[in-house]
């Protein structure tokens, strides 16, 4: 299985690397440049005009990788269940919402993109469709595994669908918030994907092991272009796709609670925004110099590479903890 996982990672790494050679100049040609928002750090203004919607680089790699795994691997005696397509569709569903948001920002030149209510409503629709498909299709039951409880699972019955909708929404938007520095969301999600690959091998979930391997490889290829100084940004197209992929893998393995451990950095990014907004509305004071929290560290004088390195190390540590759970 480890040889298969490394092979799948290599496949999407090569595809993403090659795709970037063509996609980035194409985005330049279409003038799909990122507009930097006024409320961000002042020095981010120099990034204005960097191509966005680069998430298509690893999305292309993922789609081709999944098709290869399902149609070509059986010719080599390795059968991958069709379940892998629900993981892909779940990620693509959220990626489509992100694409619409990017389209409005980049093509229609409305910097804020979709209104918050519109974006959230579309995410709810995608979450509902995916959750019903998962349950009605028999891909999952209504039980979830409790971490550190030696295989204990709890059946939450009718509350299951509302619960996993909340999990998907929280994850997707947390990953979206994490995508604020060159290579940050990419690096963290590579580590999360590798963790899920290892967990899937441990619980004998070949579908997730292959899917996670493909995702890790695609992101490593994308990181060649997204690391500081970034030649391309993933945009909401990419970040929402990643949030969908991570959440659906966790749900498929009945481990949405474990996602709180593995996705610790995602959680911190969201909590920092919630705390900042809540504190300002209640007291008129800010807890952080700027939120999400990666901007707070920037305002404290940390460079982007240092923040990415520290956040990635923290992710590796909590992923080890999640694996042991």
**Whole-model pTM over 0.85:** yes
Tell me how far apart the alpha carbons of residues 60 and 230 are, in angstroms, rounded to a whole number: 19
Residue 181 has a pLDDT of 93
If one counts every other C-beta atom within 10 angstroms of the C-beta of residue 279, the result is 15
Dist CA 130 CA 245 (whole Å): 12
Domain spans, the chain: 2-263
**Between vectors from CA 12 to CA 8 and to CA 14, what angle results, nearest 5°?**
115
Residues of the chain with pLDDT under 70: 1, 32-48, 111
pLDDT at position 72:
95
Distance CA 131, CA 301 (A): 42
Question: What per-residue confidence (pLDDT) applies to 34?
Answer: 60
pLDDT in tens, 151-179: 788 999 989 999 999 999 999 999 999 99
For 28-61, the pLDDT digits (tens) are 888 766 665 555 555 555 566 788 899 999 999 9
Question: Are the CB atoms for 182 and 308 separated by under 8 Å?
Answer: yes
Question: What tokens were used for 296?
Answer: 């707070």
Can you give the pLDDT at residue 63? 98
The 10 Å Cβ neighbour count of residue 321 is: 16
Write down the pLDDT at residue 291: 86
92 close to 143: Cβ distance less than 8 angstroms: no
261 backbone dihedrals φ, ψ, rounded to 5°: -80, -55
CA separation, residue 149 to residues 144, 146, 157, 212, 257 (Å): 12, 6, 20, 24, 12
């Amino acid at each position: 299985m480890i040889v298969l996982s490394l092979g799948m990672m290599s496949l999407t790494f090569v595809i993403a690397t090659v795709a970037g050679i063509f996609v980035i100049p194409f985005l330049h040609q279409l003038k799909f440049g990122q507009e930097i928002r006024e409320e961000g750090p002042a020095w981010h203004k120099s990034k204005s005009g960097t191509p966005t919607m680069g998430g298509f680089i690893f999305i292309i790699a993922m789609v081709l990788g999944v098709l290869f795994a399902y149609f070509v691997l059986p010719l080599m005696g390795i059968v991958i269940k069709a379940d892998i397509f629900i993981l892909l569709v779940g990620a693509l569903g959220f990626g489509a919402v992100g694409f619409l948001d990017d389209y409005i920002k980049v093509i229609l030149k409305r910097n804020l993109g979709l209104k918050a209510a519109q974006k959230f409503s579309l995410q709810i629709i995608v979450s509902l469709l995916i959750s019903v498909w998962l349950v009605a299709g028999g891909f999952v039951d209504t039980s979830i595994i409790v971490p550190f409880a030696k295989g204990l699972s709890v059946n939450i019955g009718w509350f299951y669908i509302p619960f996993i909708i909340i999990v998907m929404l929280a994850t997707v938007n947390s990953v979206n918030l994490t995508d604020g520095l060159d290579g940050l969301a990419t690096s963290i999600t590579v580590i999360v994907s590798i963790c899920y690959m290892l967990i899937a091998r441990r619980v004998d979930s070949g579908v997730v092991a292959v899917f996670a391997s493909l995702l890790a490889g695609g992101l490593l290829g994308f990181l060649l272009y997204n690391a500081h100084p970034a030649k391309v940004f993933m945009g909401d197209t990419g970040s929402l796709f990643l949030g969908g992929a991570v959440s659906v893998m966790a749900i498929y393995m009945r481990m949405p609670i474990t996602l709180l451990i593995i996705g610790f950095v995602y959680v911190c990014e969201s909590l920092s925004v919630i705390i900042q907004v809540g504190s300002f509305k209640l007291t008129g004071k800010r807890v952080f110099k700027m939120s999400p929290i990666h901007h707070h560290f920037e305002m404290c004088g940390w460079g982007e590479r240092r923040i990415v390195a520290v956040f990635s190390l923290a992710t590796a540590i909590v992923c080890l903890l999640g694996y042991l759970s």
